[in-house]
Amino acid sequence: MSEDFYAFEFLSIDGDALPLEAWRGRPVLVVNTASLCGYTPQYAELEALWQRYRDRGLVVLAVPSNDFGQQEPGSPREIKAFCTGRYGIDFPLAAKCRVVGADCHPFYRAIAEAFGEAATPRWNFHKYLIAPDGTLSALWPSQVSPNDAEVASEIERLLPRA
């Protein structure tokens, strides 16, 4: 499927427009996140990825969601304070939204329509890598660490040579 995932827009954690189009031509790692999850330490790994590859073009986008286990109950202000205070996050944070179900964000609905229900998040910290051409390059379930060699290899493949 040749869905153009840069066509979607989120709201930022601060309530501003956050169009994926702004990053066209760059790989974007979209991750649904939660502050009270067993996978929450992956925030540190996502920040490390961002620091390692941002100058070469990678964007990391966290999409907080309360869909799984009610593990993201906080307000936007609380979520932002947690991410920046506890993990030093300075990559973009979207506003909290639904990532599964009939009323999920259109980005996640497009994932389900293009790749089937098996491609939708099953828990927090599911990862989608959008290629510079706007197609979905790869996806990884929650248990795959952002530090995994496969993740780094796929990101490296999409980035310009250093």
Structure confidence by residue, pLDDT tens digits, 95-151: 999 999 999 999 999 999 999 999 999 999 999 999 999 999 999 999 999 999 999
Q: Which of 37, 83, 97, 104 is catalytic?
A: 37
37 assigned to active site: yes
Structure confidence by residue, pLDDT tens digits, 54-85: 999 999 999 999 999 999 999 999 999 999 99
pLDDT of residue 2: 60
pLDDT of residue 3: 83
What band does 158 get if pLDDT is binned at 50, 70 and 90? very high
Q: Would you state the torsion angle of the CA atoms of residues 111, 100, 49, 35, taken in this order, to the nearest 10 degrees?
A: 170
Q: Residue ranges per domain, the chain?
A: 5-154
- pTM, two decimals, is 0.96
Instruction: Answer yes or no: are the C-beta atoms of 107 and 139 closer than 8 Å.
Output: no
CA distance 81 to 77: 6
DSSP string for residues in the chain: ----GGG-EEEBTTS-EEEGGGGTTS-EEEEEE-TTSTTTTHHHHHHHHHHHHGGGT-EEEEEE--TTTT---S-HHHHHHHHHHHH---S-BBPP---SSTTS-HHHHHHHHHH-GGGS-SSTT-EEEE-TTSSEEEEE-TTS-TT-HHHHHHHHHHSPP-
Query: What is the topology classification, in CATH, of domain 5-154?
Result: Glutaredoxin (3.40.30)
